[in-house]
């Protein structure tokens, strides 16, 4: 029996490390997706923000975030051990080591901050972004995550279910992105004086689509890896619901934009598939295949309307971070309370459509509202504070010339003829 346990533990460790690597690869997807959606003059700034997400996110989560999120519970609201991976972590009872578990969760926290990155693309000060990354990975995400996922978290004890993070990761990140987009304001020229939105053409849609495909691939690690076990019998079902929801989101957006705009809209289709992925993340282990299709389709349509609503309100979200993550994450969280199959969540628990009553749906709604308000309010507060330390937004000249040259001193694409005076470019910030 001891040998079998060791083999199972080894398999689980391999599974979790591999799926953590798949989730980390999603950062390549975020980089390509956002670089393709923004203008060519800001592509390097996207890549640099992704490196900030990974480098600073991993370190801060190791120093502080993991302890606040998964440390020994204090009153259901915060963890008090596990800083620097030390202290009492005996309450985390898994077949994998605490270090392996940290690695998987680290990949999640990096994904959260990457959601916000897209909403402030092309105009945020790089130094300010670093400071906000520290705030998100040290406090905003870990504390909300503790409430839902940690042993003793108050929302988890109420019965909130979020298998892989529609609420904790996507809705939190999406509403944080909304706060950031509102505070920092729209890009120069995005809106006319009368409030009419102007189209800012993406620089490279093929690049953006490859980014979406990488994200789609990584999502199988995101959802299936959340079993934390290579021998869990639900892995196949989770992968199928993930695939179906993404396909439904993309297919629905193709048909819906053909009907609404008379042409299939490529950016909407790309984001429609991602919306389906976001929506199924909370319930991928608990809902049926048909329910996954419904969730993906609804999220795809809702994303289109949410994108139009933002523009009508004068809010500039260059990559659709809020419509994709905030709206779809919210719908996916609520969908668990509607579509959870009998006994899939726990014995005697099911969604409203399966005769489970209103309890699970009510808990899901409560948890969603709390997490969204937390992300929005804390992001708003931290960005206001950061603006007192360093300017939150780049200067007008830097924005017009592009953040690649204005902030980082190098363009994304080299000139075919001649040479660039990089010294002069870098000194242009002084």
How confident is the model over 273-322, as pLDDT tens digits? 999 999 999 999 999 999 999 999 999 999 999 999 999 999 999 999 99
More confident residue, 131 or 421: 131
User: Is the pLDDT score of 236 beyond 60?
Assistant: yes
pLDDT of amino acid 418? 52
Asked whether 350 and 323 are in contact (CB, 8 A), the reply is no
pLDDT one-digit tens code per residue, 54-69: 999 999 999 999 999 9
Q: Across residues 17-41, what is the average pLDDT?
A: 97
User: Is the pLDDT score of 413 beyond 90?
Assistant: no
Instruction: Give the model's confidence band at 150: pLDDT under 50 very low, under 70 low, under 90 confident, else very high.
Output: very high
User: Is the pLDDT score of 85 beyond 70?
Assistant: yes
pLDDT of amino acid 5? 85
Q: Across residues 69-88, what is the average pLDDT?
A: 96
User: Is the pLDDT score of 416 beyond 70?
Assistant: no
What's the CA gap between 396 and 390, in Å, rounded? 16
Tokens at 174, concatenated: 């999406």
pLDDT of amino acid 139? 98
Tokens at 246, concatenated: 């993404």
**Residue the block writes with tokens 């629905």:** 252
pLDDT of amino acid 106? 98
Instruction: Give the model's confidence band at 3: pLDDT under 50 very low, under 70 low, under 90 confident, else very high.
Output: confident
What proportion of the chain, given as a percentage, has pLDDT over 70?
96
CA distance readout (Å), 296 to 178, 248, 278, 339, 385: 22, 5, 8, 13, 38
pLDDT of amino acid 420? 55
pLDDT of amino acid 414? 75
User: Is the pLDDT score of 259 beyond 70?
Assistant: yes
As a whole number, the mean pLDDT across the chain is: 95
Q: Across residues 266-279, what is the average pLDDT?
A: 98
H or E segment to which residue 79 belongs: strand 78-79
Contacts of 163 (CB under 8 A, 6+ apart): 223, 226, 238, 281, 282, 283, 284, 285, 286
Instruction: Give the model's confidence band at 430: pLDDT under 50 very low, under 70 low, under 90 confident, else very high.
Output: very low
Q: Across residues 88-94, what is the average pLDDT?
A: 94
What's the CA gap between 57 and 183, in Å, rounded? 23
User: Is the pLDDT score of 221 beyond 90?
Assistant: yes
User: Is the pLDDT score of 429 beyond 90?
Assistant: no
Asked whether 324 and 296 are in contact (CB, 8 A), the reply is no
Task: Write down all domains in the chain, each with its CATH number in brackets.
Answer: 4-411 (1.10.3430.10)
pLDDT of amino acid 427? 55
What's the CA gap between 57 and 79, in Å, rounded? 18
Asked whether 315 and 181 are in contact (CB, 8 A), the reply is yes
What's the CA gap between 68 and 153, in Å, rounded? 11
Q: Across residues 81-91, what is the average pLDDT?
A: 95
pLDDT of amino acid 423? 56
pLDDT of amino acid 209? 98
User: Is the pLDDT score of 353 beyond 50?
Assistant: yes
What's the CA gap between 42 and 24, in Å, rounded? 23
């Amino acid at each position: 029996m001891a040998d079998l346990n060791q083999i199972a533990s080894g398999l689980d460790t391999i599974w979790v490390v591999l799926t953590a690597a798949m989730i980390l690869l999603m950062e390549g997807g975020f980089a390509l997706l956002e670089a393709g959606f923004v203008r060519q003059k800001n592509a390097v700034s996207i890549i640099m923000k992704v490196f900030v997400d990974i480098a600073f996110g991993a370190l801060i989560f190791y120093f502080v975030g993991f302890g606040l999120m998964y440390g020994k519970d204090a009153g259901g609201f915060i963890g008090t051990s596990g800083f620097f991976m030390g202290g009492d972590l005996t309450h985390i009872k898994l077949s994998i080591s605490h270090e392996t578990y940290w690695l998987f969760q680290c990949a999640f926290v990096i994904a959260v901050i990457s959601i916000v990155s897209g909403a402030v693309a092309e105009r945020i000060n790089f130094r300010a972004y670093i400071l906000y990354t520290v705030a998100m990975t040290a406090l905003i995400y870990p504390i909300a995550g503790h409430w839902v996922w940690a042993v003793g978290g108050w929302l988890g004890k109420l019965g909130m279910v979020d298998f892989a993070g529609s609420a904790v990761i996507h809705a939190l990140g999406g509403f944080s992105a909304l706060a950031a987009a509102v505070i920092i304001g729209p890009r120069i020229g995005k809106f006319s004086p009368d409030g009419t939105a102007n189209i800012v053409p993406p620089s490279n849609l093929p690049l953006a689509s490859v980014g979406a495909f990488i994200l789609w691939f990584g999502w199988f690690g995101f959802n299936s890896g959340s079993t934390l076990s290579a021998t869990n019998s639900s892995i196949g079902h989770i992968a199928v619901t993930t695939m179906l929801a993404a396909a439904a989101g993309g297919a629905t957006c193709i048909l819906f934009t053909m009907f609404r705009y008379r042409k299939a809209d490529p950016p909407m289709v790309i984001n429609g598939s991602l919306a389906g992925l976001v929506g199924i993340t909370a319930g991928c282990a608990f809902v049926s295949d048909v329910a996954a299709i419904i969730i993906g389709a609804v999220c795809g349509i809702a994303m289109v309307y949410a994108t139009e609503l933002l523009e009508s309100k004068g809010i500039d979200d260059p990559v659709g971070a809020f419509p994709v993550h905030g709206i779809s994450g919210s719908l996916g969280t609520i969908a668990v309370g509607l579509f959870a199959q009998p006994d899939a969540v726990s014995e005697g628990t099911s969604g409203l459509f399966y005769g489970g009553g209103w309890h699970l749906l009510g808990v899901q709604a409560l948890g969603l509202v709390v997490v969204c308000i937390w992300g929005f309010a804390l992001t708003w507060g931290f960005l206001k504070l950061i603006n007192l330390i360093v300017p939150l937004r780049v200067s007008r000249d830097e924005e017009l010339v592009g953040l690649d040259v204005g902030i980082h001193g190098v363009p994304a694409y080299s000139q075919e003829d001649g040479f660039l005076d990089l010294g002069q470019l870098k000194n242009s910030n002084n």
